[in-house]
Amino acid sequence: MLGITFQLSAQTLNVRVNYSTLLDHVAKWGAFFNVLFAIFAIFFLAYNKKKFYQKNPDWDRFKQRKKSTIIN
């Protein structure tokens, strides 16, 4: 961070210049790809769950039997 101070009168002028560093860019791109990965992960988990229960309907009955056992 670069700071320059001029005093030309009774008022003070402070100028701050902020540069984005390589670490800032890496963090922004990393956050972006993490959000994309999370969205795709949620989508594919839901898709795979749906496909799994279509191919294995017995597992759906097992899941419902487990719920009814817990409630009783």
Residue 54 has what pLDDT? Answer: 87
| Token digits of residue 55 | 């191919």
| Token digits of residue 61 | 């009955």
Residue 6 has what pLDDT? Answer: 62
Question: What percentage of the chain exceeds 90 in pLDDT?
Answer: 40
**What digits encode the pLDDT tens for the residues 19-46?**
889 999 999 999 999 999 999 999 999 9
CB within 8 Å of 60: residues ≥ 6 apart: 53
C-alpha span between 56 and 18 (Å, rounded):
58
The amino acid sitting at 23 is L
Domain boundaries, the chain: 2-71
Residue 29 has what pLDDT? Answer: 97
